[in-house]
């Protein structure tokens, strides 16, 4: 490859990486806003989160198109190809995280639509979403620095997050049983808790792809000990 072509290729690859990091920043913010809006019953912020969906979707389509063109024109190999294929996968997880942020906001709109409501287990949801947000930041920070060692931490946190979800669900079942009039509201909260739990799953996916990207080892479907070992 001539130096000129090689430089151009590096630039294209860097652009794709920069775009995915920009998309990551956007959905991270979207998720943070969704939780903030839920906590404060802020209808304006709720709408803002939902409106961001179009922007996230456009980035999803654009980045996939970039991937296609980079492969077609540049025929990347080895670690460059792994980067491009990782981008092709990670973009889906980011889009799903944005989707969950919207889902939380739609539920929040439903909850606050009729006026002020005391959201049951709100402090638990905040605690749970802080874990998910921290997982997401850790995974994305690892992706930006090409540091796969974060995957072990993220996988461990995901176990904690799943347990948090189950605890919230159990508490809401008790709440519903004590007062069946709260069933609809409690179901909305369970859906929100589930959406937060799924954000953690996507952060874990991103961290796993990072191990593949840097080390060439596929740790998806592996137990946490194996992920920790390979991520080191």
Q: How far is the CB of 215 from a second copy (least distance, A)?
A: 14
CA atoms within 13 A on the CB side of 144: 13
Contact window for a second copy (CB under 8 A) among 10-18, 35-43, 81-89, 100-108 = 81-89
Note whether 81 binds a second copy by CB under 8 A. Answer: yes
Residue environment code for 190-214, b if the CB has 16+ CB neighbours within 10 A, otherwise e: bebbebbbbbbbbbbbbbbbbbbbb
Is the Cα dihedral 164, 170, 174, 176 positive or negative? Answer: positive
Name residue, tokens 């947000």.
133
Residue in 4, 44, 72, 114 binding a second copy, rule: CB under 8 A: 72
Answer yes or no whether residue 177 interacts with a second copy by CB under 8 A: yes
* 68 near a second copy, judged by CB under 8 A: yes
Please answer whether residues 45 and 37 qualify as being in contact, where contact means their C-beta atoms are separated by less than 8 angstroms. Answer: yes
Helix axes 183-215, 122-145, angle to 10 degrees: 10
CB of 40 to a second copy, least distance (A): 27
Could you say whether residue 114 binds a second copy (CB under 8 A)? no
Indicate left, alpha or beta for 40 from its phi (over 0: left) and psi (-120 to 50: alpha).
alpha
Question: Which residue in the set 1, 218, 225, 232 belongs to the binding site for a second copy (CB under 8 A)?
Answer: 218
Determine the interface stretch with a second copy among 7-15, 36-44, 68-76, 156-164 (rule: CB under 8 A): 68-76
* Binding residues vs a second copy (CB under 8 A): 57, 60-61, 64-65, 67-68, 71-72, 75, 77-78, 81-82, 85, 88-89, 92, 169, 173, 176-177, 180-181, 183-184, 187, 190, 218, 220-221
């Amino acid at each position: 490859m001539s130096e000129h072509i090689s430089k151009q290729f590096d630039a294209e690859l860097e652009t794709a990486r920069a775009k995915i990091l920009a998309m990551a920043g956007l959905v991270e913010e979207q998720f943070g806003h969704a939780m903030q809006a839920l906590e404060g019953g802020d209808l304006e912020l709720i709408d803002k989160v939902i409106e961001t969906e179009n922007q996230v979707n456009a980035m999803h389509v654009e980045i996939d198109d970039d991937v296609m063109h980079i492969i077609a024109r540049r025929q990347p190999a080895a670690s460059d190809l792994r980067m491009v294929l990782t981008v092709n996968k990670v973009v889906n997880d980011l889009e799903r995280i944005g989707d969950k942020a919207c889902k939380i906001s739609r539920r929040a709109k439903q909850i606050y639509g009729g006026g002020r409501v005391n959201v049951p287990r709100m402090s638990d949801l905040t605690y749970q979403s802080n874990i998910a947000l921290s997982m997401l930041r850790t995974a994305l920070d690892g992706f930006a620095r090409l540091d796969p060692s974060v995957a072990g931490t993220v996988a461990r946190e995901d176990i904690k997050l799943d347990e948090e979800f189950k605890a919230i669900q159990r508490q809401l079942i008790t709440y519903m049983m004590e007062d069946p009039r709260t069933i609809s509201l409690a179901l909305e909260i369970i859906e929100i808790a589930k959406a937060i739990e799924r954000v953690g799953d996507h952060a874990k996916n991103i961290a796993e792809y990072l191990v593949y990207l840097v080390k060439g080892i596929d740790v998806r479907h592996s137990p946490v000990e194996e992920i920790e070992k390979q991520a080191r």
